[in-house]
Structure 1
Amino acid sequence: MLLVWAGGPGLAAPAHGIAMYSAPALPPDFVSLPYANPDAPKGGRVVTGNVGGFDSLNPFILRGTPPWQLADLTHETLMGRSWDEPFTLYGLLAESVETDEDRTWVEFTLRPEARFSDGAPVTIEDVIWSYETLGTAGHPRYRGFWTKVASIAQTGPRSVRLTFSEEDRELALLAGLRPILQKSQWQGRDITEAGIEDIPIGTGPYVVNDYEVNRHVTLKRNPDYWGRALPLRRGTHNFDEIRIEFYGDDTVLKEAFKAGLVSYVREFNAEAWASQYDFPAVQRGDITLSEIPHGKPSGMTGFVMNTRRAPLDDWRVREALITAFNFEYINDTLTGGRQPRITSYFSGSELGMDHGAATGRVRALLDPFADTLPPGTLEGYSLPVGDGTARNRGNLRRAADLLQEAGWRVENGQLVNAAGQPLTLTVLLQQDGLMAQASAMMDIYARALERLGITLKLEMTDKAQYAEREAQFDFDLTMMRRSLSLSPGNEQTFYWGAEYADQPGSRNLMGMKSPAAEAMIRAMLTARDRTEFVAATRALDRVLTAGRYVIPIHQYSVGRIAHKSQLTYPSDRLPIYGDGIGFLPEVWWLQD
């Protein structure tokens, strides 16, 4: 990569922010993020709980398992995101951003006051080293972007330009979201071999104060934090101390919360929320139950099927397995019917597909691939609906018909193929309290499949074994959760792209290889306006949903947080992304 001075006339003026489409919602002189309270008091201590353990404090390399919170609390990027817009960035380490009309390059100018936690200034040398190191030796999530960078060059004392090697309008924004590390810390050392004691120096509001492996990590707010007066930071990171405690499973974590040892928990089960949060601390008013709505797509949560293995490579078999999954009965039994089902990957938002026949621009995008698309993609596809009874006879008959079409027959009570081999499927789940509901679903599902002659085996493994088997795609079915944003982009290739289908550790768990999906992602990345982008995303949603890769379960239509009553948030100005990164603990505070 070029490390030369490469000045030249720009085609656009430097700006305080950049949006994927149109202009940033906030003006150059904005005071704070719209969902933050700029007058929030500072101070106090909050304790959060993680399930599992950790053996690393470096979230930027593949080696080890760090606490997931570290990257956002201890390190910063050139630009920061507003979670009240689909995809807009504002200056953080960089005071301005500039790009050309086609977004073939992007240039950032550093703030002169930007500092690492040890007081050293952030330099362009740090920026270029961070991009190059993370792009070549960092965690795989950083490497895809780097393959699309043709050059990186210093263009002035505080400015750097990245030029891209392919047409992709999202790259100018993604470039602003790479974490910046301190080059001098790693001089003559291999960052990929960093041990637990090698804590990366960052520029963020918090620093690691102390830790005990697999037990706790304590973060202290840096009293000399350089960016506390920035508009992007006013009213955020209000706690003096954030302590992360680690628990063996979710049940133990919830008991610790009830005992007052943890400040807040998130509850993902609507039935548990309705029935298990009436303990004495709630009745006394010491604990508050807050529900946080959002405008995000549903994303996809469910049991993904590994199409690398026969017979799951046959869409008819996958459709039969989806049809036999008695969601209505399972949902009523386990959640009291309180959580609606996911109907597509982007359901609940303008990006979600219509369930009738494809029309207009969506149809035009998909038509060139008509011969390769599974039934329902163009004609319209909706998930099968059960009758709500335990037997679910109609859907089981339909599933049996599909399996027969695919060459399976019942022989001596077993479903066998032409070679007489019985159909046995293995569901891999992590041994974790959070997976208890998934395990209960599979118990009910196994009884339904048994009536079709299919044997369903449930394998529960510890976290380490699960991670290894998932990375090697050693499962027939497993639990999958993909949160999707209002501005999906390059990550979609990592989720669904053919180049990742056989790459160990990739997020393409189903192993899908769809030219249509990749073409829709390309159309999303090159769209010049929101209308074209929405059409391309709706078309992708059709390809994914009609591909029958996942047995969808319920959506998380609202965030549920039980918290100590002194913990407060700006309830009158919630972000469109609701609860998530950038909300708790970032914009909360302790009320006296």
Structure 2
Amino acid sequence: MYGTPELPPGFVSLPYANPKAPKGGRMVVGEVGGFDSMNPYILKGEAPYNIRSHVVETLLGRSWDESFTLYGLLAESVETGPNREWVEFHLRPEAKFSDGSPVTIEDVIWSFETLAEKGHPRYRSSWEKIDRYERVGERGIRFDFNTVDNELPLILGLRPILRKADWDGRDFAESSLDRITGSGPYIVGEFEPNRYVEFVRNPDYWGSSVPYNQGLNNIDTIRYEYFTDANVVFEAFKAGELSYFREGNPAKWKTDYSFPAALNGDVVKEEIPHRRPAGMEGFVFNTRREIFSDWRVREALIQAFNFEFINQTMNDSVYPRRTSYYANSDLAMSHDAAEGAVKSLLEPFADTLVPGTMEGYSLPVADIAGRNRSGLREARRLLQEAGWRVDDAGVLRNGSGQAFEFTVLLRSDRNEAIANMYAEMLARLGITMRQELVDSAQHNTRKSDYDYDMMVNVWGLSLSPGNEQYLYWGRDGVNTPGTRNYMGMDSVAAEAMIDTMLTAESQKEFVAAVKALDRILMAGRYVVPFWFSDVSLVAHTAEMKHPEALPIYGDWIGFLPEVWWIEE
């Protein structure tokens, strides 16, 4: 994205892969939820996300040891204009789908057009920035842009390339259990909807000699088993049915791994550090609901959330709080008044920004003992200022007599425990918070349609935020279903910061725009933030191995199972 790639021409492998890793073995992974489709690129149905990483390939591949650098995968070359006003890709002549048919420019064009017209909405915005495209020779294609967007050549390089013939006589937008024919290292093996799916390594994989792939995709069979909740997954791991388990509770990490396999060394515990942004997780206010449209009300509910007490109860106070969407990285905002380039970017929108954006915003710190008197006092003050008062029966009501009550949508028993504590805290203000626990399919549908008052969500953010930020915070997402603007955020200033990120000509300007966006998000009070961890807690069978060198993103995309291998 900026500067030059770290790896030189003729590199042997990615720095966090072992090119000498042995091939073979079998891995069984536990997943919470289910699936009823084999197409992960459309809104309808729920498909295994692993199809995107195991089966389908892109023109370029990402190195997770750099902020945002891509190397050749299906494409043997890429060229851009001096101002990135166009990009040209040339396919490798040896690139083939798993059925042996060649990957052609026709497949590339069909994939781009179909994803934009019938695929998930996230693919549409980039296609709208293409002025025209044309074939270049037998294996080349050039895209000319109508918008200044320095990230666009990279985004197009990461578009999935599908086999056009797979959809002859079929509607791409309709959910189906027909297997996708990809060009990737795995093919879809046996599966049963909502039960399991297997990915089998293709012994005739065309890309086995490509430098980018050296040391990747080492395991012969990867089977994903689907369960009702995380507790059942853990019990299956203890019973030896699964190969690894990611632990999200540090208290359990200390106390719950004394089962026989862990004591005799058949199971290994590892803490894998990372340097990626914390992202955001917490209770999300749906500001499309009138009850949460006032920032003062949202701040009041943030004040009422005793994070210190809940973190101690749930995590032994091990984890720090998410005080920024980009915490744990150089992209995180400061909590004092905006200065320099950040201030200059925000000033034109000062009249539209809520208090705290320019002046500085920090989350409240409560009393671990659990009473949180100061937080509740501030919450009452803000609620009164917003027109809410407690009646003689102890119920918080507005001027129209409407009671302050809402429902939080949940699908995890762990989040249910947090919600129970939060509900008790809100009850002291005269607020009723109900809980609705639904299965994975219902949760995904209602989340996509914004059919909730409040829910828990996680936004995983990277060191290279770009076009996806429109999907997360863009104004189109207020009414368009299927985006990740779950809070209903409607901010001209936020979109201007994203615009600046995409047109920045230097890393310094880019970072300033991200910090400014971070301020808009935090001061907007759209989420009651939870905690985060700068390490991943992974327990796995002793036969599972990974290289000593770790990517800066740690245990994230492209790491497990991609660079791991089985050593009997």
The answer to whether the Cα contact below 8 Å between 2:120 and 2:482 also exists between their aligned partners in 1 is: no
Are 1:483 and 2:463 an aligned pair? Answer: no
2:535 — aligned with what? 558
Are 1:73 and 2:54 an aligned pair? Answer: yes
1:525 — aligned with what? 502
1:79-117 CA-partner distances (Å, limit 9, x unpaired):
000000011000000011100121111000111111110
The answer to whether the Cα contact below 8 Å between 1:115 and 1:122 also exists between their aligned partners in 2 is: yes
2:228 — aligned with what? 248
Relative to structure 2, which stretch is displaced further, 140-149 or 368-377?
140-149
2:273 — aligned with what? 293
Taking the aligned partners of 2:11 and 2:407, their CA distance within structure 1 comes to 54
1:341 — aligned with what? 321
Report the RMSD for the aligned CA atoms in angstroms: 1.1
What is the CA-CA distance between 1:63 and the residue it aligns to?
A: 2.5
1:486-497 maps to which residues of 2 (within 5 A)? 486-497=463-474
2:555 — aligned with what? 579
Relative to structure 2, which stretch is displaced further, 175-184 or 531-540?
175-184
Q: Which runs of 5+ in 2 are unaligned?
A: none
1:415-564 maps to which residues of 2 (within 5 A)? 415-430=396-411, 435-564=412-541
Paired residue for 1:375, among 355, 360, 374? 355
DSSP-derived class of the 2:387 partner: coil
DSSP-derived class of the 1:209 partner: strand
Counterpart of 2:41, as a letter, is: F
Taking the aligned partners of 2:44 and 2:451, their CA distance within structure 1 comes to 21
Are 1:210 and 2:186 an aligned pair? Answer: no
2:199 — aligned with what? 219
DSSP-derived class of the 2:464 partner: coil
What is the CA-CA distance between 1:499 and the residue it aligns to?
A: 1.1
Taking the aligned partners of 1:27 and 1:465, their CA distance within structure 2 comes to 48
1:375-420 CA-partner distances (Å, limit 9, x unpaired):
1111111001102121111111111111111111111211111122
What is the CA-CA distance between 1:168 and the residue it aligns to?
A: 0.7
1:32-87 CA-partner distances (Å, limit 9, x unpaired):
00000000011111111111211112222222211111111011000000000011
2:386 — aligned with what? 406
2:293 — aligned with what? 313
Are 1:42 and 2:47 an aligned pair? Answer: no
1:212-253 CA-partner distances (Å, limit 9, x unpaired):
222211111101001011110001100111111111221111
Relative to structure 2, which stretch is displaced further, 314-323 or 206-215?
206-215
The answer to whether the Cα contact below 8 Å between 2:545 and 2:565 also exists between their aligned partners in 1 is: yes
What is the CA-CA distance between 1:194 and the residue it aligns to?
A: 5.3
Are 1:590 and 2:566 an aligned pair? Answer: yes
Are 1:162 and 2:140 an aligned pair? Answer: no
Are 1:177 and 2:158 an aligned pair? Answer: yes
The answer to whether the Cα contact below 8 Å between 1:136 and 1:146 also exists between their aligned partners in 2 is: no
The answer to whether the Cα contact below 8 Å between 1:93 and 1:110 also exists between their aligned partners in 2 is: yes
Counterpart of 1:451, as a letter, is: R
Taking the aligned partners of 2:425 and 2:227, their CA distance within structure 1 comes to 34
1:32-181 maps to which residues of 2 (within 5 A)? 32-181=13-162
What is the CA-CA distance between 1:144 and the residue it aligns to?
A: 2.2
Taking the aligned partners of 1:141 and 1:205, their CA distance within structure 2 comes to 25
The answer to whether the Cα contact below 8 Å between 1:427 and 1:457 also exists between their aligned partners in 2 is: yes
TM norm structure 1:
0.94
Relative to structure 2, which stretch is displaced further, 389-398 or 486-495?
389-398
What is the CA-CA distance between 1:191 and the residue it aligns to?
A: 2.3
Taking the aligned partners of 1:470 and 1:44, their CA distance within structure 2 comes to 37
The answer to whether the Cα contact below 8 Å between 2:341 and 2:512 also exists between their aligned partners in 1 is: yes
TM norm structure 2:
0.98
1:435-477 CA-partner distances (Å, limit 9, x unpaired):
2221111111111111111111111122232223222222221
Counterpart of 1:47, as a letter, is: V
DSSP-derived class of the 1:311 partner: helix
1:128-171 CA-partner distances (Å, limit 9, x unpaired):
11111111112222222212222221011111011112111100
Are 1:265 and 2:241 an aligned pair? Answer: no
Are 1:361 and 2:337 an aligned pair? Answer: no
Query: Structure 1 vs Structure 2: percent identity of aligned residues?
Result: 57
Say how many residue pairs are matched. Answer: 567
DSSP-derived class of the 1:232 partner: helix
Counterpart of 1:183, as a letter, is: K
1:18-37 maps to which residues of 2 (within 5 A)? 20-37=1-18
Taking the aligned partners of 2:167 and 2:257, their CA distance within structure 1 comes to 48
What is the CA-CA distance between 1:515 and the residue it aligns to?
A: 0.8
1:335-365 CA-partner distances (Å, limit 9, x unpaired):
1101111001011111000111100000000
Counterpart of 2:269, as a letter, is: L
The answer to whether the Cα contact below 8 Å between 2:335 and 2:362 also exists between their aligned partners in 1 is: yes
Paired residue for 2:212, among 232, 246, 258? 232
The answer to whether the Cα contact below 8 Å between 1:322 and 1:551 also exists between their aligned partners in 2 is: yes
1:496-528 CA-partner distances (Å, limit 9, x unpaired):
111111112221111010111111111101001
DSSP-derived class of the 2:455 partner: strand
Taking the aligned partners of 2:488 and 2:353, their CA distance within structure 1 comes to 16
Counterpart of 1:578, as a letter, is: G
Relative to structure 2, which stretch is displaced further, 80-89 or 186-195?
186-195
DSSP-derived class of the 1:540 partner: helix
1:9 — aligned with what? none
Taking the aligned partners of 1:478 and 1:462, their CA distance within structure 2 comes to 14
The answer to whether the Cα contact below 8 Å between 1:74 and 1:204 also exists between their aligned partners in 2 is: yes
DSSP-derived class of the 1:364 partner: helix
The answer to whether the Cα contact below 8 Å between 2:34 and 2:441 also exists between their aligned partners in 1 is: no
DSSP-derived class of the 2:22 partner: coil
Are 1:394 and 2:374 an aligned pair? Answer: yes
Counterpart of 1:269, as a letter, is: N
1:518-567 CA-partner distances (Å, limit 9, x unpaired):
11111101001110000000000000000000000001321111100110
Counterpart of 1:509, as a letter, is: Y
What is the CA-CA distance between 1:425 and the residue it aligns to?
A: 1.8
1:17-46 CA-partner distances (Å, limit 9, x unpaired):
xxx111111111100000000000111111
Taking the aligned partners of 1:337 and 1:212, their CA distance within structure 2 comes to 41
What is the CA-CA distance between 1:305 and the residue it aligns to?
A: 0.4
Taking the aligned partners of 2:423 and 2:173, their CA distance within structure 1 comes to 43
Q: Which runs of 5+ in 1 are unaligned?
A: 1-19
Counterpart of 1:136, as a letter, is: E
The answer to whether the Cα contact below 8 Å between 1:52 and 1:249 also exists between their aligned partners in 2 is: yes
Taking the aligned partners of 2:299 and 2:174, their CA distance within structure 1 comes to 45
What is the CA-CA distance between 1:185 and the residue it aligns to?
A: 2.6
Taking the aligned partners of 1:155 and 1:245, their CA distance within structure 2 comes to 44
Taking the aligned partners of 1:247 and 1:421, their CA distance within structure 2 comes to 41
